[in-house]
Amino acid sequence: MTTEEVPTQDPTRGLESAVAVVGMSGRFPGARDLESYWANLRDGVCSLSTFSEKELLADGADAAELRNPAHVAVQGRLPDADRFEADLFGFGRTEAAALDPQHRVLLETAWAALEDAGHAPLNAPPRTGVYVGGSPTEHALAAGTDPALAASIGALQVRILTDREFLAPWISYRLGLDGPSMTVQTACSTSLTAVHLAVQALLLGECDTALAGGVALGSVRRQGYVHYQGGIFSPDGRCRPFDEKAAGTVPGSGVGVLVLRRLEDALADGDPVRAVIRGTAVTNDGSGKVGFTAPGVHQQTAAITEAWAAAGLEPSAAQYVEAHGTGTELGDRIELEAASAAFAGGTGIGLGSVKSNIGHADAAAGAAALIKTILMLEHATLAPTVDVTSPVAALRQSPLRLVTEAEQWPSRAGLPRLAGVTSVGIGGTNVHVVVQEAPEPRPRARAAGQPVVLPLSARTEPQLAVLAERLAERLGAADAPPLADVAHTLRTGRVAMPVRAYVVAGEGQEAAERLTALAEGRLDTTAATADALGEAWLRGEEVAWPVLDGEVRRVRLPTYPFAGESHGALTLRQPPAQASPEPQAPDPSPPGPADELEAAVARLVIEALDLDGAAGLAQTYFEAGGDSLTAVHLAGRLRDEVGVDVPIQLFLEPITLKDMTTRIVGMKRGGDADGALDALLAEFEAES
């Protein structure tokens, strides 16, 4: 029985418990965004990087290791992963340098995913939860073992800025999301487990919107690996899932975040539905396998069948399965056996693994696989598994067939396009997700094409030009969204920033031409109809945009073009003095005259808050970006270096930092607040 001959099933059954994917964003080897990711997948590109000895040595590789015949100079790498637009997220330079690059790229990806869903990242829907996970990183290990860094910013601050357990809370805090915030860890299946938990939370009503995904950024350095006979890594730097020559995987990096909502809510609110999650399931192998790191057959099969049961569908309804597919002999053999048993009712079901393109993205592997599958559904195209020349013989007796060339994903009568995505973690956690193509949008009443104002903003002029150029390209495409929807999304789904512009247009091609002129710095403002609200927008005012005629929806538009500077990354390859800032040595000498004491206090305040000199003291503590962690750090340095204990209440008062400095000097003279820091620390520890 072929996939075109599956038993009749009700495609609407189970939709009451379906979850919509309304937005997503990701960065993977060879792809800075999902458009380039899809192009690479469709074209069968292997995006693994091969490095020269000179490049590896420049990034701190051990010359002796490079001489090892088993060394493989290949990696699935994210270029520019050390760059971060820190100011956008409220981090000073000192904090940003200590913040793990893994946290940085996840924050930016979460921002972009919300924009892709048509929601302003700093004004997301109420009760938005966060479910994400990450991988171990060299930066975190170097930070945690660097006494100089701990002396500089405090051991607690180091942990909070680098530990994986704070990945989700940083997103919730910096984006103002008040739903559940959970960091998930199930090894290689982390990000797909995060999706499962987010789906369950939505269905249980614990949140109304959820961000789910994961990140893996072991190091920002270019580096290879050493192949060991019998190990999991490939001897030649290529990953060949389900191939007779498969001999291992390749380390990779990546980050992916999906925005999820209950399907009925997404449809009612006019969200841009990209795909539908029909069912999910998680199992664990327990002790039913040959070893802790080995996978097991029976519980992988159970995860698949349970997920399709949750979807109200038979596994035979699947047209494609995106496998975990590590390209290891044992892993592939067991996964193929498990999947063949689960999908036994079907024939000719496509099979693939994105690890052949990007390597093994560890905690982000499941997100990479799910996003790949959604992109294939959107484009009705099956992407090939690359570098495969001889599929394993076991496929001949399997309901599955390995997809090795790009091909059309056929539609069928009575059932939508359906796929399954599997992720397996060391330790035995198996996850399977059933994904369905997005439903056709329902008809709606549209207003006549009246001229509308399209507002744009960014933090810098070059970023504004990039945004205008990308939006022009989108509106000039054959499948450009209605201009009223574009205006609605730009007005309600973007954060207002200081550098602003607008264009007025009545249809998409006209808008594209004016946006191109804006990007190139040749917009003729006299030719464009001036708009009173547009001019108010230019002046930096908060504009109350009028309701647009007709029924408008959120649509997918180009997201914010991040352009942060490099904040580096800590590494174990460098001497400690180079790996982190020099600690500020306590001054054992007694304070001098009042002006010297005040200067010393001011210096500590400026350093702790990363201010641009004494002019920054005109702000209040919170205006300068201060928080409770910085308060602990600053209070500690004031006690150690100046000899004054500062009560927590002082940081909460609405006074300028200059006045706060004067008060602290007065405390020193009067000997006030003895033991206040100890009380503050005890209070903070109790709350955490």
Same-domain pairing of 526 and 634: no
Question: Residues 468, 469, 474, CA angle at the centre, nearest 5°?
Answer: 95
Same-domain pairing of 475 and 417: no
| Block residue for tokens 């329902």 | 442
| Block residue for tokens 């020193």 | 668
So what's the pLDDT on residue 148? 86
Confidence of residue 669 (pLDDT cuts 50, 70, 90): low
Q: List the CATH number of the domain containing 657.
A: 1.10.1200.10
Question: Residues 511, 514, 554, CA angle at the centre, nearest 5°?
Answer: 35
If you average pLDDT over residues 286-302, what whole number do you get?
Answer: 91
C-alpha pair distances (Å), 26 with each of 29, 116, 132, 635: 10, 11, 13, 39
Angle between helices 190-204 and 365-379 in degrees, nearest 10: 70
So what's the pLDDT on residue 687? 38
Q: Is the pLDDT of residue 524 over 70?
A: no
Residue 12 lies in a domain: no
Same-domain pairing of 143 and 254: yes
Percent of the chain's residues with pLDDT above 90: 72
From the list 345, 299, 348, the residue with the least C-alpha distance to 321 is 348
Question: Residues 92, 97, 103, CA angle at the centre, nearest 5°?
Answer: 95
C-beta of residue 237 within 8 angstroms of C-beta of residue 74: yes
Same-domain pairing of 392 and 536: no
| Dihedral over alpha carbons 628, 634, 635, 636 (to 10 degrees) | 110
Q: Using CA atoms, how far apart are residues 350 and 395, in angstroms rounded to an integer?
A: 11
Residue 577 lies in a domain: no
Residue 56 lies in a domain: yes
- Whole domain around residue 651: which residue ranges? 596-686
Q: List the CATH number of the domain containing 521.
A: 3.30.70.3290
pLDDT digits (tens, 9 = 90+) for 557-584: 999 999 999 999 999 874 333 334 444 4
pLDDT digits (tens, 9 = 90+) for 530-549: 789 999 999 999 999 998 88
Q: Is the pLDDT of residue 523 over 70?
A: yes
Q: Is the pLDDT of residue 390 over 80?
A: yes
pLDDT digits (tens, 9 = 90+) for 154-170: 999 999 999 999 999 99
Same-domain pairing of 110 and 235: yes
Percent of the chain's residues with pLDDT above 70: 89
If you average pLDDT over residues 205-214, what whole number do you get?
Answer: 98
Helix H or strand E encompassing 194: helix 190-204
C-beta of residue 617 within 8 angstroms of C-beta of residue 102: no
pLDDT digits (tens, 9 = 90+) for 638-653: 887 888 888 866 877 7
Q: Using CA atoms, how far apart are residues 285 and 425, in angstroms rounded to an integer?
A: 10
Q: List the CATH number of the domain containing 189.
A: 3.40.47.10
Q: Using CA atoms, how far apart are residues 77 and 26, in angstroms rounded to an integer?
A: 14
So what's the pLDDT on residue 685? 40
So what's the pLDDT on residue 395? 96
Show which of 511, 529, 549 is a domain's final residue.
549
pLDDT digits (tens, 9 = 90+) for 335-371: 999 999 999 989 999 999 999 999 999 999 999 999 9
One-character DSSP codes across 30-84:
TBSSHHHHHHHHHTT----EE--HHHHHHTT--HHHHTSTTEE-EEB--TTTTEE
Same-domain pairing of 120 and 191: yes
Same-domain pairing of 427 and 480: no
Q: 23 or 295, which is more confident?
A: 23
Same-domain pairing of 424 and 492: no
Residue 367 lies in a domain: yes
Same-domain pairing of 264 and 299: yes
Confidence of residue 677 (pLDDT cuts 50, 70, 90): very low
So what's the pLDDT on residue 165? 96
3-state secondary structure of 211: strand
From the list 111, 115, 85, the residue with the least C-alpha distance to 99 is 85
Query: Mean pLDDT lowest for which of 90-99, 399-408, 667-676?
Result: 667-676
Residue 583 lies in a domain: no
Q: Is the pLDDT of residue 231 over 90?
A: no
Q: Could you say which DSSP state residue 242 is in? A: T
Residue 665 lies in a domain: yes
So what's the pLDDT on residue 391? 96
Beta bridge partners of 505: 452
Q: Using CA atoms, how far apart are residues 52 and 73, in angstroms rounded to an integer?
A: 7
Confidence of residue 199 (pLDDT cuts 50, 70, 90): very high
Same-domain pairing of 362 and 479: no
Neighbouring C-beta atoms of residue 298, cutoff 10 Å: 16
From the list 111, 52, 101, the residue with the least C-alpha distance to 80 is 101
| Block residue for tokens 């997918």 | 556
Same-domain pairing of 489 and 604: no
Q: Is the pLDDT of residue 377 over 70?
A: yes
So what's the pLDDT on residue 446? 67
Average confidence score pLDDT of the chain: 89
So what's the pLDDT on residue 383? 98
So what's the pLDDT on residue 287? 92
pLDDT digits (tens, 9 = 90+) for 430-451: 999 999 999 988 877 666 668 9
Residue 590 lies in a domain: no
Q: Using CA atoms, how far apart are residues 143 and 309, in angstroms rounded to an integer?
A: 46
Show which of 437, 463, 481 is a domain's final residue.
437
Beta bridge partners of 322: 352, 421
Distance of CA 386 to the CA centre of its chain: 25
Show which of 437, 463, 496 is a domain's final residue.
437
Q: How many domains does the chain have?
A: 3
C-beta of residue 221 within 8 angstroms of C-beta of residue 571: yes
Residue 430 lies in a domain: yes
Same-domain pairing of 602 and 523: no
